Amino acid sequence: MSFSLVIKIGGEGGEGVISAGDFLTEAAVRSGYHVVNFKSFPAEIKGGYANSTVRISDEKLYSTGDGFDILCCFNAEAYAYNKKHLKPGTVLVYDSSDFEPEEHDGVIMYPVPLSDIAKNEIKAYITKNIVALGALVGLFNIPVESLKDSIKAKFSRKGEKIVNMNYQALEAGMKYVKENLVKKDGFEFPPPIGLKDVVIMEGNQAVAKGCIAAGCEFYAAYPITPATSVGNYIVEDLIRKDGWLYQAEDEIASLAMAIGASFAGVKAMTATSGPGLSLMSELIGYAGMTETPVVIVDVQRVGPATGMPTKHEQGDLYHAVYGSHGEIPRAVLAPISVEDSFYMSIEAFNLAEKYQMPVIVLTDAAMSLRAEAFPTPDLSKLNIVNRLIYKSEEDKEQKFIRHGRFLRYALFTEDGITPMGIPGDPNAIHAITGLERQENSDPRNRPDIRTYQMNKRFKKLEKLLEEDYDRFIEIDAPYKDADIGIITWGLTASITKEAVQRLRSRGLKINAMYPRLLWPVKEDVFEFFAKSSKRILIPETNYYGQLATVVKDRTHIRPISYNIYRGEPFIPKEIEDIVDFLMENQEITEGRFTPEHVYGEKAYGLI
């Protein structure tokens, strides 16, 4: 890659750290560059350490990198958190009116009295973050007009005075740097190339926008970190679209309401995190059994029980695939990026509506707080699927009516899909029940009826594999005989993409497969991919290797799984390191590995 710059800003929560990162993100977009931004809030409601990492590049990147190039510390706490990552060649910009750092070999230091400038020159301590941005502009040539536009876009509602005060703060930071510091590093922002037609969204926002684009009209919510903001982002859009968000009394009620709304004829959803998904288990089975379309978004966090509510883990795949007693048809989708979260949310509704079943979307805590700029989606070009609804006038032979009863669960359709009757229609009156039943919904315990109805429900998945599966599987396999084939999912897939680029540029033959649809599984696709590689590696941020388990269950592949479960996503370097480790240890062909195998006791030093 030609240009990539990672700037990390840290400080006290509430000091404008996060908004400084947001301004920087938007300024990069206004200058025409690609950007990924990852925010981390303190666990406390007020105060505590917050940070924002912004990665700017001239080609689409998939991670926030291995570490920062430039660290900007608003206070001593932020410095204390990050000092072990100050490596030779990195830059530290810090508030010299607040603290003095230790000596760091090879680290370039720029002291800037951020607080003093804000207090004494601008007479507004609140502008400290903008002074800091000014310093960064002065030091690294960040396009100042783009930054000014971002500030104006944000503050113009508050009046010219506020905009001008912030401009002054920006200029004060720039002036200080120019007059007092000599540039000693090589980091330089390239000249702006112009704003493109893009949107900036956070992960949970992309989910919300995708769901509304898919036609969602009802959302039942129960607050839970880190899923709550899906609701925050969708609530007003839903109302404007004449839909509604209902804050339920618990997650069980949420899913029950979504199922009720879906039965009444509208596209319905709920979003939650692991603990909520556990509570919803029984109703997921009910939705599958009654063939009611519903979308459940699980923004995964560290489990089990309360775990680490704000931290990343890919620990709910088992639950999404196998959770709930008995067996039902379902689909499990996992977007790999923020942009993907938008499109996969639409796909979730499409699959739920087409196959009349629950669809679970797995994102995670890190993805939820990640912002990306991506090309503005054009809804007129997207395929939106609606459920098959019974229309009496189209059923000339009255095939779906027997003895005056509507056959909601008719067994004679080839693909197992039967039209739904919507309340209000006098010709399709019927019951749905969680009991096994015959075609007209009458409960029955008969072995033949049970078998036929099970087959009917699962036939729908056969159709899905036939008609809809392939577009969810991204295969990047340029080599016929790759050293290693990596299969991975979710955010880990994004990070792996960057590692794969680096490994290939070093001459290694690495193939990769990124499935977005994790259930059902088309065995042939996996096995065909596996044939192109000597060994299969599945990195995941969970203990057991949950995708690895599914792959072992459904295919003949015996993968090497690589697992971390510390509450953080991988960095690309770690994927590189496990591949290097496997290249040095050719005898390893399967099994479960952790950083201890790769780094020995040093493994914990990395954390």
Residues 286-325 that bind another protein (CB under 8 A): 286
Nearer to another protein, 124 or 200 (CB): 200
User: Binding of another protein at residue 264 (CB under 8 A)?
Assistant: yes
What are 239's two structure tokens? 């109302």
**Residue 205 Cβ vs another protein, minimum distance, rounded to whole Å:** 7
Q: Which stretch binds another protein (CB under 8 A): 193-201, 411-419, 527-535, 572-580?
A: 193-201
65-73, 245-253, 351-359, 519-527 -> range binding another protein (CB under 8 A): 245-253
When the beta carbons of 75 and 438 are compared against another protein, the nearer one is: 438
In the beta sheet, which residues pair with residue 475? 513
327 binds another protein (CB under 8 A): no
Q: Rule CB under 8 A: say whether 256 interacts with another protein.
A: yes
Beta carbon nearer to another protein, 28 or 135 = 28
Which listed residue (240, 383, 394, 584) binds another protein by CB under 8 A?
240
**With binding defined as CB under 8 A, does residue 444 bind another protein?**
no
User: Angle CA(512)–CA(516)–CA(522) in degrees, nearest 5?
Assistant: 80
Q: Give whichever of 85 and 241 is closer to another protein, judged by the CB atom.
A: 241
Using rule CB under 8 A, residue 162 touches another protein: no
Residue from 47, 423, 478, 591 in contact with another protein (CB under 8 A)? 423
- Residue 153 DSSP SS3: helix
Among 429, 481, 524, 602, binds another protein (CB under 8 A): 429
Instruction: Give the H or E element holding residue 375.
Output: strand 370-375
In the block, which residue shows the tokens 């991975």?
A: 488
* Closest residue by Cα to residue 534 from 486, 573, 463, 494: 486
Helix or strand (DSSP H, E) at 374:
strand 370-375
> Does residue number 242 form part of the binding site for another protein (CB under 8 A)?
yes
Residues 318/289, Cβ–Cβ less than 8 Å: no
Full 3-state SS string of 558-606: CCEEEECCCCCCCCHHHHHHHHHHHHHCCCCCCEEECHHHHHHHHHHHH
What is the contact mask toward another protein in residues 381 to 420, using x (rule: CB under 8 A)? ----------------------xxx---------------
236 binds another protein (CB under 8 A): yes
377 part of the interface to another protein, by CB under 8 A: yes
d(CA 141, CA 82): 24
Whether omega before 304 lies within 30 degrees of 0, making that bond cis, reads yes
Q: Report the residue from 17, 367, 373, 385 that binds another protein according to the rule CB under 8 A.
A: 373
Site for another protein (CB under 8 A): which residue of 29, 410, 536, 575? Answer: 29
Closest CA to 539 of 528, 527, 547, 551: 547
**Who contacts 575 (Cβ-Cβ below 8 Å, separation ≥6)?**
486, 495, 496, 499, 500, 539
> Least distance (Å) from another protein to the CB of residue 153?
5
Tokens, residue 332: 């499990």
Chain center to CA of 21: 19
Residue in 88, 186, 326, 424 binding another protein, rule: CB under 8 A: 424
* Nearer Cβ to another protein (111/265): 265
Q: Is 239 in the site for another protein (CB under 8 A)?
A: yes
Work out the number of other CB atoms within 10 angstroms of the CB of residue 115: 18
Q: Which of 17, 108, 118, 258 binds another protein (CB under 8 A)?
A: 258
Question: How far apart are CB 3 and another protein at their closest, in Å?
Answer: 20
User: Least distance in Å: CB of 247 to another protein?
Assistant: 9
Contact status: 279 vs another protein (CB under 8 A)? no
| Residue 509 · residue 481 · CB < 8 Å | yes
56 contributes a contact to another protein by CB under 8 A = no
Half-sphere exposure of 378 (CA within 13 A, CB side): 3
